[in-house]
């Protein structure tokens, strides 16, 4: 690693730490903006052992904790805290215990995989404990939307094969190779790009649906357009298929159709025409259209076959507590990468208990999000709509890949849930206690008047 790069990175980390201690909200904004832009960098590219996105998170987390300690600020534990904490702690403790009791000689990568859910909890803590006033929320959400625009535009530049773009990102943001080119952008994986575009689209649509005064319509339309571009460039059919469902959820929650959505649909139609050569190639490679009509993508059919023939039978002997994230030897090495179903991976990690913790967390978030629908504060309604649609997205997409574990995407999901927790906790803290006023006539009867 270049000494100059290390020195610059060290100075930047110290500056970010000082900024977060002083003004946590700016550290949060840096986190949601830079993590998606560095998630695809190789491990050790900036600092040994860690990825750049992990370093940013750890620095911001340290700054928020120091700020909390020095200001002696705390809030009660909420239901969301319990749901997220149970999911993360269970997803770490159960596989850790399985590995220790089975005397498995786990390597560094295995232990890193076991501990990886802690990053989700770290991001959740940062945003749930940073007081979300309107000004602070505007800063964080605009940073999130800006990151989505950048990721989407880079994906578009990749799929259009603009000079030098593909070579640059193949060198510094290496991702899986495909027969037909699919944009990995700064996230390092095309599936993450598709889901990240969908998440950003959901957030922008929620803001537009509630006409949030802090976010101009042209900006939200641009964000949704860039998000659609990213989804198309990634060639992720699961995200594109989930897009209409997520859109309906947000519109039903808000009970109105924003004009920005109409503009976005028109722009998306133009994008489909421009990108049709790449889109048609992807359709042909996946055999989506047959003589009998539409069919499952070829890649999905292959995965289902491997799941039923090798992966599910290997899991059947470890149903309750899993295998500690270790894939049994009965699964051929060349097929271990096909354990990319969210629920299968949760089962290998922590068994049916792990699956229950994952689904329970998502359902708890959806319940809390739904309760914000009639709130007077538009910010809580916006975050409620976005959280509800995002969890529905994860429940559906989980059948096709491990979306909640993708670097860059996972942090944005945890941010959204953390903001929801912070907003609902702020309401509970500000809610006044009930005051009983005695009836004057009753006071007289008691001899007090």
pLDDT in the model for residue 158: 92
Distances (CA, A) of 363 to 43, 124, 359, 373, 386: 33, 17, 6, 16, 14
Which pLDDT score, from 0 to 100, does residue 100 have? 93
- The first and second tokens of residue 20, run together, are 């977060």
Sign, CA torsion 297/300/302/308: negative
Per-residue pLDDT at 195: 94
More confidently predicted of 73 and 382? 382
Evaluated on CA atoms 84, 89, 92, 98, the torsion sign reads negative
237 neighbors 297 (Cβ within 8 angstroms): yes
More confident position, 317 or 180: 317
State pLDDT tens for residues 214-245.
899 999 999 999 999 999 998 888 899 899 99
**Separation between Cα atoms, residue 227 and residue 409, nearest integer Å:** 13
Over the stretch 372-409, which tens digit does the pLDDT of each residue have?
A: 998 889 999 999 999 999 999 999 999 888 899 898 99
pLDDT at position 2 over 90:
no
**What single-letter DSSP state applies at residue 367?**
H
Closest among 202, 119, 116, 168 to 385, alpha carbons compared: 202
Does residue 443 carry a pLDDT above 80?
A: no
Average pLDDT over the chain reads 87
Across the strands, what pairs with 294?
289
Q: Which residue has the higher pLDDT, 77 or 384?
A: 384
For residue 225, give the nearest of 269, 262, 267 by alpha carbon: 267
Q: In this model, does residue 283 exceed pLDDT 70? A: no
Question: Is 368's pLDDT higher than 90?
Answer: yes
Share of the chain above pLDDT 90, in %: 54
pLDDT for 99: 94
What would the DSSP string read from start to end of 427-438?
A: HHHHSPPP----
| Cα separation, 89 vs 233, whole angstroms | 36
Checking if the pLDDT of 354 tops 50, the result is yes
- The pLDDT of residue 433 is above 50: no
The Cα–Cα gap between 185 and 98 comes to 37
Look at 148-162, 216-230, 278-292 and tell me which has the smallest mean pLDDT. 278-292
Q: Is the pTM of this model over 0.75?
A: yes
The mean pLDDT value for 46-51 works out to 82
What would the mean pLDDT of 426-446 be, rounded to a whole number? 47
- Where on the phi/psi map is residue 23: left (φ > 0), alpha (ψ -120 to 50), or beta? beta
Q: What is the distance between the alpha carbons of residues 329 and 42, in angstroms, rounded to a whole number?
A: 28
Q: Identify the helix (H) or strand (E) that includes residue 128.
A: helix 117-128
> What's residue 444's pLDDT?
39
Q: Confidence band (pLDDT; 50, 70, 90) for 85? A: very high
The count of other CB atoms within 10 Å of the CB of residue 266 is 12
**Average pLDDT of span 97-101:** 94
pLDDT tens, position by position, 187-221: 989 999 999 999 999 999 999 999 888 899 999 99
Task: Reply yes or no on whether the pLDDT at 279 is more than 80.
Answer: no
What would the two tokens of residue 408 be?
A: 């860059």
SS3 for 271-306 is HHHHCHHHHHHHHHHHCCEECCEECCCHHHHHHHHH
User: What is the domain partition of the chain in residue ranges?
Assistant: 3-430
Q: Inform me whether the pLDDT recorded for 362 exceeds 50.
A: yes
- CA atoms of 26 and 20, how far apart (whole Å): 6
* % of the chain residues with pLDDT over 70: 89
Residue 199 and residue 172 in contact, taking contact as beta carbons nearer than 8 Å: no
Lowest-confidence segment of 100-109, 132-141, 145-154, 431-440 by average pLDDT: 431-440
What was the pLDDT predicted at 407?
87
């Amino acid at each position: 690693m270049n000494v100059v790069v290390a020195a610059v990175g060290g100075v930047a980390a110290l500056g970010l730490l000082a900024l977060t201690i002083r003004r946590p909200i700016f550290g949060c904004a840096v986190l949601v903006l830079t993590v998606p832009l560095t998630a695809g960098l190789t491990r050790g590219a900036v600092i040994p052992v860690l990825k750049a996105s992990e370093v940013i998170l750890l620095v911001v987390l340290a700054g928020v904790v120091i700020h909390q300690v020095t200001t002696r600020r705390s809030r009660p534990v909420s239901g969301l805290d319990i749901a997220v904490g149970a999911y993360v702690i269970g997803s770490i403790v159960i596989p850790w215990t399985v590995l220790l009791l089975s005397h498995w000689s786990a390597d560094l990568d295995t232990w890193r995989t076991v501990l990886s859910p802690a990053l989700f909890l770290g991001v959740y803590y940062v945003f749930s404990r940073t007081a979300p006033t309107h000004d602070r929320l505007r800063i964080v959400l605009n940073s999130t939307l800006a990151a989505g625009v950048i990721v989407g535009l880079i994906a578009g530049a990749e799929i259009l094969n603009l000079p030098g773009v593909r070579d640059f990102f193949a060198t510094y943001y290496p991702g899986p190779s495909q027969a037909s080119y699919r944009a990995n952008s700064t996230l390092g994986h095309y599936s993450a790009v598709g889901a990240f575009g969908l998440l950003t689209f959901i957030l922008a649509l929620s803001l537009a649906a509630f006409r949030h005064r802090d976010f101009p319509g042209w900006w939200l339309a641009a964000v949704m357009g860039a998000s659609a571009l990213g989804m198309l460039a990634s060639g992720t059919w699961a995200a594109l298929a989930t897009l209409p469902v997520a859109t309906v959820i947000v519109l039903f929650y808000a009970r109105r159709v924003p004009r920005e959505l109409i503009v976005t649909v028109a722009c998306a139609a133009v994008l489909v025409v421009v990108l049709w050569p790449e889109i048609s190639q992807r359709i042909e490679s996946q055999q989506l259209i047959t003589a009998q009509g539409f069919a499952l993508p070829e890649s999905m059919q292959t995965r289902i076959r491997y799941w039923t023939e090798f992966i599910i039978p290997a899991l059947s002997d470890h149903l309750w507590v899993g295998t500690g994230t270790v894939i049994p030897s009965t699964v051929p090495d060349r097929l271990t990468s096909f354990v990319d179903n969210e629920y299968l991976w949760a089962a290998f990690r922590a068994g049916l208990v792990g699956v229950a913790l994952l689904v329970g967390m998502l359902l708890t978030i959806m319940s809390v999000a739904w309760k914000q629908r009639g709130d007077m504060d538009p910010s809580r309604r916006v975050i409620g709509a976005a959280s509800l649609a995002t969890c529905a997205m994860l429940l559906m997409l989980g059948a096709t890949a491990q979306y909640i574990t993708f670097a860059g995407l996972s942090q944005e999901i945890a941010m959204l849930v953390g903001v929801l927790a912070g907003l609902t906790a702020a309401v509970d803290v500000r809610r006044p206690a009930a005051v009983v006023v005695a009836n004057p006539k009753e006071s007289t009867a008691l001899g007090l008047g």
